[in-house]
Amino acid sequence: MMYTLALSTTFVLGAWGHGRLDIPATRKPLGFENEPVSGPNETDFVCRNDPNSNPKTKVTAGQSLNMKWTLTAKHWGDCSVYVGYGDAVVNGVGDEKRAARFVKIANVPDCRQFSEQDYAVDLPGWLPAGHAVIRWEWYALHMHPAIEFYVQCADVIIESDSTLTVDQLPSYPVVGPPVLPTSANVAPGYRHVFTATEQFYTGPPCAFQDQASDRSNCQLTAPGTTGYVDVSDRITGEQVPQPTPSPTEVVPVTPAPTEGATDAPTDAPNTPSPTEGATDAPTDAPATPSPTQNAGSCSNHAWGPCGGSSNPTAPSCCPAGYQCQVQNEWYSQCRNDGCPSGWDCETMNSASMSGRRLERRLSALEGSH
């Protein structure tokens, strides 16, 4: 009887909801819809809901769009942002949605850290004008090798001066067969966040990656990366890259940290800490794990990656007012809110402060003799 009870408890916990997109408004803008979809080859993986009469969000190509998602269980995993055009995705009902075609425009590594915060996604200037769908996708890695998938669609009207047509986009269906592997045991697989193995991002490349902004993180799924998914065999017709539009000043929107959103996740990997047991909170100003030099000329952006084995090409500097905080050996981030609880930089700062105190004590002792 006790064995049966344990199984039932595990099932209930596993079925509990985990996350959803809030902004832009989805096809179900209100209410609980945080449970995973059926799987990466099911119709609800394309768009969880059918289109309806809810108002559509107006967005502008070449500008940033504030997105927000709520992860009620902050599991490790990555989010991706797609844009889809055409009758199947805009008006398709039921299995008609399976013919929907999308292009990826952004990767969001470890998106749990941005839960309940504004996150700016740069909409490419080459996006055609018209009715479209912004598709948010999250895969959660806490049940390795099994993967949980979450998807939401938001109906939008894109305003654009682009001369590119929908037929010229390198778009593709995401099901039939599935684009993403069904588990970590299916090539190219997914990273195992609880082991000291390569930490990579799984997914197809961004469309016209050479024109993507830095904070779109498109280099993470570029051809040649470990988790790269080749979708070239799904793309039909002739794709004509849109010439780079004339420069337009876009004011980047910095994700605003949500008070209390830095609690350590319950499923954080057991990453070796530089100093075991150094948990005392420092009384001095925190040390900067990676000092930023020439912040005024830094090519990096606020909240962007600044190091780690998962971001080997990321700038090591941060813009003025931000410091490079080390989460683990795989990921570091430019932040302006200090070191989040549970990150490696917390222990590094404590160790640095201990060293400084020791230096001051030795200096004081030497001065007294």
pLDDT digits (tens, 9 = 90+) for 132-169: 999 999 999 999 999 999 999 999 999 999 999 999 99
- In a domain? residue 287: no
pLDDT of residue 322: 85
* Same domain, residue pair 177 and 311: no
* Same domain, residue pair 26 and 159: yes
For the residues 53-77, what does the mean pLDDT come to?
96
Token pair for residue 270?
A: 């057991």
Q: How far is CA 88 from the centre of its chain?
A: 26
CA dist., res. 83 & res. 67, Å (int): 14
Q: What is the pLDDT of residues 177-233, one digit of tens each?
A: 999 999 999 999 999 999 999 999 999 999 999 999 999 999 999 999 999 999 999
CA dist., res. 272 & res. 253, Å (int): 34
Cβ neighbours of residue 271 under 8 Å, at least 6 residues apart? Answer: 196, 328, 329, 344
Provide the domain count of the chain: 2
Domain end call among 192, 214, 234 = 234
Residue type at position 106: A
DSSP assignments along 227-273, one per residue: TB---GGG--S---PPPPPPP----PPPPPPPTTTTPPPTT---PPP
CA dist., res. 201 & res. 191, Å (int): 7
* Same domain, residue pair 226 and 300: no
- In a domain? residue 4: no
- In a domain? residue 216: yes
Domain housing 226: 16-234
Q: Is the dihedral of CA 223, 229, 233, 237 positive or negative?
A: negative
Radius of gyration over alpha carbons of the chain, in Å?
22
Q: What angle do CA 35, 40, 42 make, to 5 degrees?
A: 85
CA dist., res. 272 & res. 344, Å (int): 9
Q: What is the pLDDT of residues 283-336, one digit of tens each?
A: 444 444 444 445 567 888 776 678 876 556 778 899 888 889 998 776 787 878
pLDDT of residue 342: 80
How many CB atoms neighbour CB 187 within 10 A? 8
CA dist., res. 157 & res. 57, Å (int): 6
Q: What is the pLDDT of residues 99-122, one digit of tens each?
A: 999 999 999 999 999 999 999 999
pLDDT of residue 87: 98
Domain end call among 219, 234, 249 = 234
pLDDT of residue 307: 81
Residue type at position 68: K
pLDDT of residue 366: 63
Q: For residue 166, give the 3-state DSSP assignment.
A: helix
pLDDT of residue 183: 97
Residue type at position 145: P
Confidence of residue 11 (pLDDT cuts 50, 70, 90): very low
* Same domain, residue pair 313 and 215: no
Q: For residue 29, is the peptide bond before it cis, meaning its omega torsion is within 30 degrees of 0?
A: no
- In a domain? residue 252: no
pLDDT of residue 248: 40
CA distances from 64 to 73, 252, 271, 320 (A): 27, 7, 34, 21
Mean of pLDDT over the chain? 81
Q: What percent of the chain has pLDDT over 70?
A: 71
Greatest CA span in the chain, whole angstroms?
85
* Same domain, residue pair 74 and 214: yes
Position 257 pLDDT exceeds 50: no
What CATH number is attached to the domain comprising 54?
2.70.50.70
- In a domain? residue 357: yes
Higher pLDDT, 359 or 279: 359
* Same domain, residue pair 229 and 302: no
CA dist., res. 348 & res. 341, Å (int): 12
pLDDT of residue 362: 60
pLDDT of residue 314: 72
Q: What 8-state DSSP symbol labels residue 357? A: H
* Same domain, residue pair 123 and 194: yes
- In a domain? residue 251: no
- In a domain? residue 243: no
Confidence of residue 249 (pLDDT cuts 50, 70, 90): very low
- In a domain? residue 178: yes
Domain end call among 185, 214, 234 = 234
Confidence of residue 10 (pLDDT cuts 50, 70, 90): very low
For the residues 10-31, what does the mean pLDDT come to?
75
